[in-house]
Protein backbone atom coordinates (compact mmCIF):
# COMPACT_ATOMS: atom_id res chain seq x y z
CA UNK A 1 0.00 0.00 0.00
CA UNK A 2 1.37 3.37 -1.02
CA UNK A 3 1.44 6.09 1.57
CA UNK A 4 -0.27 9.33 0.72
CA UNK A 5 1.69 12.53 0.59
CA UNK A 6 1.24 14.87 3.51
CA UNK A 7 1.30 17.76 1.03
CA UNK A 8 -1.62 17.28 -1.35
CA UNK A 9 -1.75 19.58 -4.33
CA UNK A 10 -5.03 21.42 -4.26
CA UNK A 11 -6.53 23.41 -7.06
CA UNK A 12 -9.03 26.13 -6.23
CA UNK A 13 -12.59 25.02 -6.86
CA UNK A 14 -13.72 28.50 -7.93
CA UNK A 15 -11.78 31.46 -9.10
CA UNK A 16 -11.87 34.60 -6.99
CA UNK A 17 -12.73 38.02 -8.43
CA UNK A 18 -9.19 39.13 -7.53
CA UNK A 19 -7.67 36.41 -9.74
CA UNK A 20 -6.47 37.35 -13.22
CA UNK A 21 -9.32 37.25 -15.76
CA UNK A 22 -7.86 34.34 -17.73
CA UNK A 23 -6.57 30.91 -16.73
CA UNK A 24 -4.46 28.82 -19.12
CA UNK A 25 -3.81 25.10 -18.75
CA UNK A 26 -0.88 23.78 -20.79
CA UNK A 27 -0.30 20.53 -18.91
CA UNK A 28 -2.57 17.91 -20.40
CA UNK A 29 -5.35 19.13 -22.63
CA UNK A 30 -4.94 22.84 -23.33
CA UNK A 31 -7.66 25.01 -21.83
CA UNK A 32 -8.24 28.71 -21.62
CA UNK A 33 -10.98 29.88 -19.28
CA UNK A 34 -12.34 33.23 -18.21
CA UNK A 35 -13.36 34.10 -14.63
CA UNK A 36 -16.77 32.57 -15.18
CA UNK A 37 -15.20 29.25 -16.19
CA UNK A 38 -16.21 29.58 -19.84
CA UNK A 39 -13.94 27.72 -22.24
CA UNK A 40 -12.35 30.10 -24.74
CA UNK A 41 -9.88 27.73 -26.38
CA UNK A 42 -12.32 26.29 -28.93
CA UNK A 43 -12.49 29.65 -30.72
CA UNK A 44 -8.73 30.07 -30.95
CA UNK A 45 -6.89 28.80 -34.01
CA UNK A 46 -3.99 26.32 -33.62
CA UNK A 47 -1.18 28.78 -34.43
CA UNK A 48 -2.47 31.21 -31.81
CA UNK A 49 -2.59 28.33 -29.31
CA UNK A 50 1.01 27.55 -30.15
CA UNK A 51 1.99 31.17 -29.51
CA UNK A 52 0.23 31.10 -26.13
CA UNK A 53 1.90 27.79 -25.24
CA UNK A 54 5.38 29.04 -26.11
CA UNK A 55 4.81 32.19 -24.07
CA UNK A 56 3.49 30.10 -21.16
CA UNK A 57 6.57 27.86 -21.27
CA UNK A 58 8.78 30.95 -20.91
CA UNK A 59 7.34 33.01 -18.03
CA UNK A 60 10.41 35.26 -18.01
CA UNK A 61 10.01 35.95 -21.71
CA UNK A 62 11.14 34.52 -25.01
CA UNK A 63 12.96 36.40 -27.72
CA UNK A 64 10.79 37.24 -30.70
CA UNK A 65 13.34 35.73 -33.09
CA UNK A 66 13.31 32.44 -31.17
CA UNK A 67 9.53 32.39 -31.14
CA UNK A 68 9.34 33.13 -34.87
CA UNK A 69 11.92 30.52 -35.90
CA UNK A 70 10.17 27.94 -33.71
CA UNK A 71 6.73 28.58 -35.19
CA UNK A 72 7.72 29.39 -38.79
CA UNK A 73 11.09 27.70 -39.41
CA UNK A 74 10.88 28.12 -43.20
CA UNK A 75 9.99 31.82 -43.17
CA UNK A 76 12.33 34.73 -43.48
CA UNK A 77 12.82 36.69 -40.28
CA UNK A 78 10.82 39.63 -41.61
CA UNK A 79 7.91 37.45 -42.80
CA UNK A 80 7.93 35.56 -39.48
CA UNK A 81 7.75 38.82 -37.52
CA UNK A 82 4.78 39.94 -39.62
CA UNK A 83 3.02 36.60 -39.07
CA UNK A 84 3.68 36.69 -35.33
CA UNK A 85 2.31 40.22 -34.92
CA UNK A 86 -0.69 39.42 -37.14
CA UNK A 87 -1.59 36.34 -35.08
CA UNK A 88 -1.03 38.25 -31.86
CA UNK A 89 -3.39 41.02 -33.01
CA UNK A 90 -6.09 38.51 -33.94
CA UNK A 91 -5.63 36.69 -30.61
CA UNK A 92 -6.22 39.95 -28.76
CA UNK A 93 -9.32 40.60 -30.89
CA UNK A 94 -10.60 37.11 -30.05
CA UNK A 95 -10.12 37.65 -26.30
CA UNK A 96 -11.49 41.20 -26.18
CA UNK A 97 -15.09 40.06 -25.41
CA UNK A 98 -13.81 38.07 -22.41
CA UNK A 99 -11.41 40.58 -20.86
CA UNK A 100 -12.19 43.91 -22.49
CA UNK A 101 -9.59 46.42 -23.57
CA UNK A 102 -7.00 44.95 -21.23
CA UNK A 103 -6.48 42.32 -23.95
CA UNK A 104 -3.96 44.77 -25.44
CA UNK A 105 -1.76 44.09 -22.41
CA UNK A 106 -2.05 40.28 -22.50
CA UNK A 107 1.39 39.93 -24.05
CA UNK A 108 4.12 42.12 -22.60
CA UNK A 109 7.16 43.21 -24.58
CA UNK A 110 10.37 44.00 -22.74
CA UNK A 111 13.17 44.87 -25.16
CA UNK A 112 12.96 41.96 -27.63
CA UNK A 113 11.42 39.49 -25.15
CA UNK A 114 7.72 38.70 -25.13
CA UNK A 115 5.82 37.14 -22.22
CA UNK A 116 2.29 36.65 -20.95
CA UNK A 117 1.14 39.27 -18.46
CA UNK A 118 0.68 37.55 -15.05
CA UNK A 119 -1.80 40.27 -14.05
CA UNK A 120 -4.14 39.06 -16.81
CA UNK A 121 -3.51 35.32 -17.01
CA UNK A 122 -2.54 32.47 -14.73
CA UNK A 123 -0.81 29.38 -16.09
CA UNK A 124 -0.90 25.97 -14.43
CA UNK A 125 2.79 25.38 -15.13
CA UNK A 126 3.75 28.62 -13.37
CA UNK A 127 1.72 27.61 -10.31
CA UNK A 128 3.39 24.18 -10.19
CA UNK A 129 6.87 25.68 -10.52
CA UNK A 130 6.12 28.17 -7.74
CA UNK A 131 4.86 25.36 -5.49
CA UNK A 132 8.03 23.37 -6.17
CA UNK A 133 10.17 26.41 -5.32
CA UNK A 134 8.26 27.01 -2.07
CA UNK A 135 8.52 23.37 -1.02
CA UNK A 136 12.21 23.15 -1.92
CA UNK A 137 13.02 26.26 0.08
CA UNK A 138 10.93 25.19 3.06
CA UNK A 139 8.61 28.21 2.78
CA UNK A 140 5.42 26.18 2.46
CA UNK A 141 3.74 26.10 5.89
CA UNK A 142 1.14 23.43 5.16
CA UNK A 143 3.78 20.81 4.45
CA UNK A 144 5.78 19.69 7.50
CA UNK A 145 8.36 17.91 5.31
CA UNK A 146 9.04 20.91 3.05
CA UNK A 147 12.68 21.38 2.25
CA UNK A 148 13.69 17.92 3.48
CA UNK A 149 15.21 15.22 1.29
CA UNK A 150 12.77 12.39 0.68
CA UNK A 151 13.74 9.26 2.60
CA UNK A 152 14.47 6.09 0.68
CA UNK A 153 16.08 7.79 -2.32
CA UNK A 154 19.56 6.67 -3.35
CA UNK A 155 22.30 9.04 -2.19
CA UNK A 156 23.01 10.13 -5.80
CA UNK A 157 19.36 11.13 -6.35
CA UNK A 158 19.27 13.11 -3.12
CA UNK A 159 22.46 14.97 -4.00
CA UNK A 160 21.39 16.02 -7.50
CA UNK A 161 19.80 19.45 -7.76
CA UNK A 162 16.22 19.52 -8.96
CA UNK A 163 15.39 21.31 -12.18
CA UNK A 164 12.45 23.56 -12.88
CA UNK A 165 9.68 22.23 -15.10
CA UNK A 166 9.84 25.31 -17.33
pLDDT digits (tens, 9 = 90+) for 75-115: 999 999 999 999 999 999 999 998 999 889 999 999 889 99
Number of domains in the chain: 1
53-79 confidence digits (pLDDT tens):
999 999 999 999 999 999 999 999 999
Residue 61 forms part of a structural domain: yes
How many C-beta atoms lie closer than 10 Å to residue 122's C-beta?
20
Residue 17 forms part of a structural domain: no
Residue 154 forms part of a structural domain: no
Residue 79: domain span: 22-124
Secondary structure (DSSP) of 48-100? HHHHHHHHHH-TT-EEHHHHHHHH-TTS-HHHHHHHHHHHHHHHHHHHHHHHG
| pTM of the entire predicted model | 0.72
CATH of residue 48:
1.10.10.10
Residue 45 forms part of a structural domain: yes
Amino acid sequence: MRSRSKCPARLPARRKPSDPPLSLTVLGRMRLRDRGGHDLISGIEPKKREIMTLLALHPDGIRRDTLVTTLWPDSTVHAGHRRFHGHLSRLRDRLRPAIGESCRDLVVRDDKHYSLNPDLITVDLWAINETIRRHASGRHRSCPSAGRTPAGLPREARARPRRSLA
